[in-house]
């Protein structure tokens, strides 16, 4: 092993994604604090500023880790692709840019699970301070934070038809689902500003990267944590074909994401003893919770034909239509290329007696044949994609080898719990009910995915299990809370000098997409580190 001269810092952060970039920005605000940020991927990719790049990068080697799940019976033994961002900004640099905080109840649940300082009254102000919402700040929304957010302003009569149809089906419109109440059919708010993606690389690192006390090292793959007894003192990482060490005077913070963070803990001898021993890894700290508690949204993608070609964007995704859209984007920063993954959404209740929505519906003005190849259907069409907001089924992520470059084994156990099956079936029926309302019915043709053949509960469940994939929201594998991996200050139980700050610490799934909550965790971790440093 070759070792370079050891760089030193007060804090070493592993992973410059949604949480890691926000954390690096906040910690390095104090010029007296030296921060070293390691990122396995490159600094950027030419496509990332384009909002539509979420489709272009979904399966692209380089800026994407391109993981796969294990074949599981619950999803017809398919290996499901699991994209994850591998560049500055992490998954926020390849994601669909849908901006959702979740429900206030989600964070109150985190508090009720024994995590002091994580209920809505504590994290609401953090969501507010991190936002730069184009409509400005108010009691709940932030207008002067680093993270650009705007509402989709694309104009298409299809959107009005969808909003009207949802209203006719009993789902109210909601002017701000990130405000007091999430419920309703809405125009999407997105991490997009002036037609450009607002990743955390753009919003948090661009301003911080010139600071003398912040060093960002890209293409640096962290292999292991270095433990001296029960204290984490640094990391080993590979860069340019050589293995190096870096030392932290105070702490190491793992922000490698819900897949990367438990993976690095296990590679470092922190985890379940029998599993580590199977792979020849010395057990340095026994911890059964590492890699457990994986949750994710399984998403069912439905498609309908549209009777009027101009309502669908299928013809804009290839050929001359695409040429026109490229020109339009270059001139105006608007149009098809400036859209997030879904310009209209719904947060819906499967049963009226529920206290809050349990289903999310994404409405998409085009329909593609294959998620990874992004080939549009050859006729005008639209899509509704649906998921259960708070899945109960638990999976896991564990090493399959001591080789830091071997992908871990991802087991989602999608729809393992009855409540998840029932809610997913209800979500498909609810999408159909909206599509059947007059405002949409008069402009649409047949539902061709899954189609009329799939109608009974058993058929719907079978179709979901045979075709549905992840909505790209893995969380929970370094769960915060009693019997978990980290305490409510994000410190790894039983070790000193080591915290985890990313989506892996979520104890339960926030109701919606997971980028905003991950950034919040990075922000909150900076607060905790600063407060703990003052206290000691």
Rule CB under 6 A: choose which of 84, 141, 315, 390 binds ligand FAD.
Answer: 84
- Nearest Cα neighbor of 267 from 460, 405, 463, 167 is 405
Residues 305-324 that bind ligand FAD (CB under 6 A): none
Binding piece for ligand FAD, criterion CB under 6 A, among 5-13, 96-104, 148-156, 526-534: 96-104
Whether the link from the prior residue into 450 is cis, omega within 30° of 0, is: yes
- Write each residue from 38 to 77 as x if it is in contact with ligand FAD (CB under 6 A), else as -, in one continuous string: xxxx------------x---x-------------------
Please identify, using beta-carbon distances, which residue of 55 and 380 lies nearer to ligand FAD. 55
**Does the protein bind ligand FAD through residue 260 (CB under 6 A)?**
yes
A 10 A CB-CB count for 405 gives 8
User: What is the distance between the alpha carbons of residues 499 and 444, in angstroms, rounded to a whole number?
Assistant: 51
- Asked if residue 412 binds ligand FAD (CB under 6 A), the reply is no
Q: Is 190 in contact with 111 (CB distance < 8 Å)?
A: no
Q: Cα separation of 119 and 114, whole Å?
A: 10
Rounded to an integer, what distance in angstroms lies between the CA atom of residue 274 and that of residue 287?
11
Helices (H), 32-103: 53-56
**Which of the residues 221, 462, 473, 489 is marked catalytic?**
473
Q: Cα separation of 468 and 459, whole Å?
A: 13
Going by C-alpha positions, the residue among 181, 519, 517 that lies closest to residue 347 is 181
Instruction: Tell whether residue 95 is a contact of ligand FAD (CB under 6 A).
Output: yes
* b/e code 158-176 from CB counts within 10 Å (16+ = b): bbebbbbbbbbbebeebeb
Q: Which lies closer to ligand FAD via its Cβ, residue 90 or residue 335? A: 90
According to CB under 6 A, which residues from 206 to 225 bind ligand FAD? 221-222
Tokens 């997971």 sit at which residue? 514
Angle at 211 between CA 209 and CA 214, to 5 degrees: 70
**Catalytic status, residue 171:** no
Q: How far is the CB of 477 from ligand FAD (least distance, A)?
A: 10
- CA-closest candidate to residue 344, choices 103, 517, 203, 171: 171
Write down the least CB distance from residue 88 to ligand FAD, Å.
7
Q: Is 94 in the site for ligand FAD (CB under 6 A)?
A: yes
**All residues at 6 or more sequence positions from 194 whose CB lies less than 8 Å from its CB, including other chains:** 333
Our CB check for ligand FAD shows the closer of 380 and 474 to be 474
**Residues 106-165 interacting with ligand FAD (rule: CB under 6 A):** none
Q: Is 233 in the site for ligand FAD (CB under 6 A)?
A: no
Tell me whether residue 41 or residue 148 sits nearer to ligand FAD (CB atom).
41
Between residues 287 and 500, which has the closer beta carbon with respect to ligand FAD? 500
Range in contact with ligand FAD (rule: CB under 6 A) among 32-40, 178-186, 297-305, 408-416: 32-40
- The DSSP H or E segment spanning 196 is strand 196-197
Nearer of residues 342 and 367 to ligand FAD, judged by Cβ: 342
Q: Is 530 exposed, middle or buried (0-12, 13-18, 19+ CB in 10 A)?
A: middle
Helix spans in 416-485 (H): 418-435, 438-441, 457-467
Contact between 18 and ligand FAD by CB under 6 A: the answer reads yes
* Count of residues engaged in binding ligand FAD, rule: CB under 6 A: 44
When asked if residue 472 is in the footprint of ligand FAD (CB under 6 A), the reply is yes
**Among 233, 256, 299, 460, interactor with ligand FAD by CB under 6 A:** 256
State yes or no: residue 248 binds ligand FAD (CB under 6 A).
no
Q: Give min distance, CB of 132 to ligand FAD, in A.
A: 16
CB 384 within 8 A of CB 363: yes
Window of 93-101, 113-121, 145-153, 274-282 that interacts with ligand FAD by CB under 6 A = 93-101
Q: Which of residues 91, 103, 350, 388 is near ligand FAD by CB under 6 A?
A: 91
Residue whose CB is nearest to ligand FAD in the complex, by number: 17
CB-CB contact of 48 with 1 (8 Å): no
Positions marked catalytic: 473
Residues binding ligand FAD (CB under 6 A): 14-20, 38-41, 54, 58, 83-86, 90-92, 94-98, 100, 221-222, 255-258, 260, 264, 341, 472-473, 502-503, 513-516, 518
């Amino acid at each position: 092993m070759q070792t370079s001269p050891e760089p030193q810092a007060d804090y070493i952060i592993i992973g410059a994604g949604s949480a890691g970039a926000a954390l690096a920005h906040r910690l390095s605000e104090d010029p007296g604090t030296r921060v070293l940020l390691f990122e396995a991927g490159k600094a950027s990719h030419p496509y990332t500023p384009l909002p539509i790049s979420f489709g272009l990068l979904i399966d692209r080697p380089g800026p994407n880790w391109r993981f796969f799940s294990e074949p599981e019976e619950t999803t017809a033994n398919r290996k499901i692709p699991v994209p994850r961002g591998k560049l500055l900004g992490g998954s926020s640099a390849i994601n669909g840019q849908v901006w959702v905080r979740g429900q206030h109840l989600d964070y109150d649940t985190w508090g009720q699970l024994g995590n002091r300082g994580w209920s809505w009254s504590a994290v609401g102000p953090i969501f507010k301070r991190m936002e730069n919402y184009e409509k400005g700040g108010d009691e709940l929304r932030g207008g002067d934070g680093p993270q650009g957010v705007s509402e989709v302003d694309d104009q298409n009569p299809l959107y009005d038809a969808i909003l009207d149809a949802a209203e006719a089906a009993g789902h109210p419109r909601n002017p701000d689902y990130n405000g007091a109440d999430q419920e309703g059919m809405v125009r999407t708010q997105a991490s997009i500003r002036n037609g450009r993606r607002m990743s955390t690389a753009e919003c948090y690192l661009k301003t911080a990267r010139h600071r003398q006390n912040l060093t960002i090292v890209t293409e640096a793959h962290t292999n292991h944590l270095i433990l001296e007894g029960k204290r984490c003192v640094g990391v080993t990482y590979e860069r340019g074909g050589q293995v190096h060490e870096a030392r932290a005077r105070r702490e190491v913070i793992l922000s490698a994401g819900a897949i990367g963070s438990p993976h690095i803990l296990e590679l470092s001898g922190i985890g379940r003893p029998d599993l580590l021993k199977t792979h020849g890894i010395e057990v340095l700290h026994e911890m059964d919770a590492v890699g457990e508690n994986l949750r994710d949204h399984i998403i069912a993608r439905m498609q309908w034909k549209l009777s009027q070609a101009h309502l669908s964007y299928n013809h804009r995704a290839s050929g001359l239509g695409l040429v026109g859209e490229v020109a339009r984007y270059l001139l105006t920063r608007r149009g098809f290329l400036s859209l997030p993954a879904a310009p209209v959404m719904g947060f819906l209740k499967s049963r009226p007696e529920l206290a809050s929505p349990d289903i999310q519906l994404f409405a998409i003005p085009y329909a593609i044949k294959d998620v990874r190849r992004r080939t549009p259907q050859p006729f005008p069409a639209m899509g509704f994609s649906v998921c259960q907001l708070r899945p109960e089924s638990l999976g896991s992520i564990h090493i399959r080898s001591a080789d830091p470059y071997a992908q871990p084994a991802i087991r989602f156990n999608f729809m393992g719990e009855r409540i998840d099956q029932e809610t997913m079936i209800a979500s498909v029926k609810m999408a159909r009910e909206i599509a059947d309302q007059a405002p949409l019915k008069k402009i649409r043709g047949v539902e061709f995915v899954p189609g009329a053949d799939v109608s009974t509960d058993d058929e719907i469940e079978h179709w979901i299990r045979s075709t549905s994939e992840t909505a790209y929201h893995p969380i929970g594998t370094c769960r915060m809370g009693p019997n978990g991996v980290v305490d409510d200050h994000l410190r790894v139980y039983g070790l000193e000098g080591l915290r985890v700050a990313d989506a892996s610490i979520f104890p339960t799934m926030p109701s919606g997409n997971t980028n905003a909550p991950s950034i919040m965790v990075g922000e909150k971790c900076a607060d905790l580190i600063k407060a703990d440093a003052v206290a000691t």
